[in-house]
Amino acid sequence: MDRSLGVMGILSPCLPPNLKAVEGAFGLDVDYAVLHKIYGAPADDEARRYFPGKCLGWDRKTVISKPEDVSTSFAERQNLTVRMSMRRFIRLANAFSEKFDNHRCIGRALFMYFDFCWVHHTIRETPAMGAGLADHIWTVEEMVAPLEPIPDAN
């Protein structure tokens, strides 16, 4: 089943692994651009630990095809949702996962909940319903039902 409605548009930071990942996943069937943000130095050494330098500008380049609208607003909104929903994604926090598998699973659970269980006020339905992947708002019980039960440790 094709999960996208048309050509996928991707904007990523200007890092070489991103290009290989996008090409490997989508080939040439994607609109792909990179955004390189240019930062100035922070005011003092202590500020560098907590805050990046001031963004002085950016350079946007098309890599594959010609994206019509290249914007970071969707990605920035998703990043904010992740940081506000899970403390483990905030810099300098002590709410971390000791195992990477646990970290990955909690991230997947958040996105599953965000897409299938949470009604977004702007679209008045879940994103999964808007994309035609679901016909109703899922409960948390429906979300976790396909998971294998955890064996008893005793």
Q: Which two tokens stand for residue 124?
A: 């008045």
Per-residue pLDDT of the chain (154 residues; tens, 9 = 90+): 355 566 777 877 777 888 888 888 888 888 888 888 887 776 666 556 666 677 788 777 888 777 666 666 767 777 777 777 776 666 666 666 677 787 788 888 888 888 899 898 888 999 899 888 999 999 988 988 877 776 766 5
Report the alpha-carbon angle 56-59-62, nearest 5. 160
Contact at 8 Å (CB) between 53 and 80? no
What is residue 120's three-state secondary structure? Answer: strand
What pTM does this model have? 0.53
Q: List for the chain the helix, strand, coil content (%; round to 5).
A: 40, 20, 45
Contact at 8 Å (CB) between 35 and 69? no
Contact at 8 Å (CB) between 135 and 129? yes
DSSP annotation of 146 reads T
User: Contacts from 119-126 at CB under 8 Å and sequence distance 24+?
Assistant: none
